[in-house]
């Protein structure tokens, strides 16, 4: 008899096993669970066939920490000495001179145009393979100053659980990021379980060339192919996926068009935003930051259109895998 009870318990487990253990019970968790159950229930009114199950996630500030500076920008700043070593004439030129000075306050005051010059100098002018090798090396060594851990450990545990839960339910999980596609691909598979073909990002033109040994390579040109931010996100989604996501998850004004575009498709759709309101465990920032701006207008649109706003403070039991 006891044995049968045990078997029954084991068989019934999925009904009460918690797929999202780092999420507190609440409206956000409920919305996610209901959406996944409804869209995967064969014969149900909201059923979505497996090939249509596409979920799109912004990265910076949605899947991992973006504050006070995007990790990719930190990478570019860290690459400046190597770039200047190869081209010594840059040492006396701005904005490279400021970066080399190491003066944090001055660096924080660099303009967007300055940053662009640094991005071009550090992200282009080499083969795609060479770039990936350099970025991989930095990611292995660099540490975030606040948590004293590799940046790749600063992924949000509740989001890792959500990605896994969606995949277990037949969803293809995509990253749709304003960040560099080639940069994110270096670690996306390891950190998020998302393969390179499911990383949609800002990308530059690459040129087909041969190295000295006659071996083909792709050379990263200093020219933008796709600016995968704001209206560029639906464009990137159309180009790389060719379907409207049924679930889209962002955290800032740069994700507005992606959420609108996804939510406007036929059938069941779920749009979500992470709200950074947890100064203690992570950061609290809103309308007036350099990165990840979550404007009042975005909050209004979310309320009006029934998008789910996820409060880090209230909806997440823990932030990182290393949290107790």
Q: Does 6 bind a second copy (CB under 8 A)?
A: no
- Number of other CB atoms surrounding residue 260 within 10 Å: 17
The mark string for 131-170 relative to a second copy (x by CB under 8 A, - otherwise) is ----------------------------------------
| Distance of closest approach, residue 261 Cβ to a second copy, in angstroms | 5
Angle at 244 between CA 238 and CA 250, to 5 degrees: 95
Q: Does 51 bind a second copy (CB under 8 A)?
A: yes
| Distance of closest approach, residue 245 Cβ to a second copy, in angstroms | 11
Half-sphere exposure of 177 (CA within 13 A, CB side): 27
Nearer to a second copy, 231 or 286 (CB): 231
CA 285 – CA 258 distance, rounded (Å): 21
Residues of this chain, 231-270, that bind a second copy according to CB under 8 A: 231-232, 234-235, 238-243, 257, 260-261, 264
- Number of other CB atoms surrounding residue 299 within 10 Å: 16
Residue with tokens 């100053």: 145
Q: How big is the site for a second copy, counted in residues (CB under 8 A)?
A: 35
> What tokens does 308 get?
């789910």
Contact predicate 72/180, CB 8 Å:
yes
| Distance of closest approach, residue 111 Cβ to a second copy, in angstroms | 26
| Distance of closest approach, residue 12 Cβ to a second copy, in angstroms | 32
| Distance of closest approach, residue 277 Cβ to a second copy, in angstroms | 28
Instruction: For 229, list phi and psi in degrees, rounded to 5.
Output: -140, 155
Q: Choose, by CB under 8 A, the member of 53, 79, 185, 276 that binds a second copy.
A: 185
Q: Does 304 bind a second copy (CB under 8 A)?
A: no
- Number of other CB atoms surrounding residue 192 within 10 Å: 23
> What tokens does 88 get?
């010594």
Q: Choose, by CB under 8 A, the member of 24, 128, 289, 295 that binds a second copy.
A: 128
- Number of other CB atoms surrounding residue 121 within 10 Å: 21
Q: Does 212 bind a second copy (CB under 8 A)?
A: no
Longest Cα–Cα distance in the chain = 82
Stretch that binds a second copy, among 14-22, 146-154, 213-221, 314-322 (CB under 8 A): 213-221
Stretch that binds a second copy, among 13-21, 93-101, 199-207, 293-301 (CB under 8 A): 199-207
| Distance of closest approach, residue 160 Cβ to a second copy, in angstroms | 19
Stretch that binds a second copy, among 23-31, 90-98, 195-203, 313-321 (CB under 8 A): 195-203
CA 101 – CA 71 distance, rounded (Å): 20
Residue 137, H or E segment: helix 128-141
> What tokens does 146 get?
């606040």
| Distance of closest approach, residue 242 Cβ to a second copy, in angstroms | 3
Q: What is the dihedral of CA 153, 159, 164, 170, to 10 degrees?
A: -140
The alpha carbon of 231 is separated from its chain's Cα centroid by a whole number of angstroms, namely: 17
Q: Does 226 bind a second copy (CB under 8 A)?
A: yes
Q: Choose, by CB under 8 A, the member of 113, 215, 304, 324 that binds a second copy.
A: 215
Q: Counting beta carbons within 10 angstroms of the beta carbon of residue 272, is it exposed (0 to 12), middle (13 to 18) or buried (19 or more)? A: buried
Q: Choose, by CB under 8 A, the member of 197, 279, 300, 303 that binds a second copy.
A: 197
State the residues that interact with a second copy by CB under 8 A. 51, 128, 172, 181, 185, 189, 195-197, 199, 203, 205-208, 215-216, 218, 225-226, 230-232, 234-235, 238-243, 257, 260-261, 264
């Amino acid at each position: 008899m006891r044995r049968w009870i045990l078997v029954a318990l084991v068989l019934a487990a999925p009904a009460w096993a918690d797929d999202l253990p780092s999420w507190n019970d609440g409206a956000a968790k409920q919305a996610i669970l209901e959406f996944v159950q409804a869209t995967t229930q064969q014969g149900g009114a909201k059923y979505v066939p497996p090939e249509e199950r596409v979920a799109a996630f912004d990265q910076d500030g949605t899947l991992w920490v973006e504050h006070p500076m995007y990790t990719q920008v930190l990478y570019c700043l860290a690459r400046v000495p190597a770039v200047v070593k190869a081209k010594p004439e840059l040492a006396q030129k701005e904005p490279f001179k400021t970066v080399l000075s190491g003066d944090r306050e001055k660096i924080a005051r660099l303009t967007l145009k300055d940053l662009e010059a640094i991005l071009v100098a550090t992200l282009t002018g080499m083969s795609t393979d060479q770039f990936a090798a350099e970025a991989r090396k930095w990611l292995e060594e660099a540490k975030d100053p606040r948590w004293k851990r590799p940046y790749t450990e600063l992924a949000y545990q509740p989001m890792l659980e959500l990605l896994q839960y969606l995949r277990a339910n037949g969803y293809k999980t995509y990253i749709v990021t304003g960040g560099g596609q080639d940069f994110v691909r270096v670690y996306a598979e390891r950190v998020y379980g998302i393969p390179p073909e499911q990383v949609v990002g800002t990308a530059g033109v690459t040129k087909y060339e041969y190295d000295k040994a006659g071996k083909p390579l792709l050379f990263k040109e200093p020219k933008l192919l796709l600016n995968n931010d704001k209206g560029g996100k639906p464009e990137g989604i159309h180009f790389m996926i060719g379907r409207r996501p049924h679930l889209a998850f962002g955290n800032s004004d740069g994700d507005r068009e992606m959420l609108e575009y996804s939510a406007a498709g036929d059938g069941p759709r779920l749009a979500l935003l992470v709200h950074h309101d947890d100064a203690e465990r992570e950061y609290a920032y809103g309308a007036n930051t350099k990165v990840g701006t979550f404007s009042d207008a975005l909050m209004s649109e979310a309320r009006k259109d029934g998008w789910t706003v996820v409060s880090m403070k209230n909806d997440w039991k823990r932030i990182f895998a290393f949290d107790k």
